[in-house]
Chains A and B, each alone.
Chain A
């Protein structure tokens, strides 16, 4: 992490008033919305030159470059022991320890507090097609609806993914609803207890 700080020399004021003892800092040419350090994964630097201080997050660890050079094309077996070095091509990495990715938040972690610096590897959740999801309803006579609960994900025949946002039972399983392909809520379909999809 490197800070370049430039400032003009200010005259010293004795017994300053509140209005005098203040500074306005102007930062230009900086986007404070991006990380201060260049956050990289090992794959993004493989086979290329890395400078001392470069930080990567291979696997479940964090590594900092302590000897610059050109990395190899095969990912080394990085250590999670803090300080232990790993050669990589002509470069050398030192372990910063474990940076364990957390589970995807769709395993029951909605509306949860996340501190800055948390690393995740979002997994593709399980889903089924609308046809398969409603197959059980068509297998009965008379045809019945199928219960859907919040969080169930289906793929419509138009290729879009739909997530259930309200518990309920589908009204008909013979005709697929006209699912939206953009992020929006599909109004309740069928009877009032029907599920809602988004």
Chain B
């Protein structure tokens, strides 16, 4: 089992139901690579470090 790096965003390109809580998918961080998670398919959209940079002007 590999753990997520915490620095790559994924978008659900196939909707569905995620796997069991304890079944951690091995997220593929390569750009546009797919990762299966139950019936959901996550596609990598690239790296980034999420911080709350939302702001309204």
Contact = CB atoms under 8 A, between A and B. Distances in A.
A58 interface: yes
Interface string A150-181: 11010000001111110000000000000000
Nearest to B26: A183
Contacts, number: 159
A175 to B, nearest CB: 22
Interface size class of B (residues with CB under 8 A): 35 or more
B47 A164 contact: no
A43 B48 contact: yes
A119 B21 contact: no
A192 interface: no
A39 B11 contact: yes
A122 B27 contact: yes
Mostly helix, strand, loop or mixed at chain A's interface?
loop
A103 B47 CA distance: 16
Interface of B: 1-24, 26-27, 31-32, 34, 37-38, 40-43, 45-48, 50-57
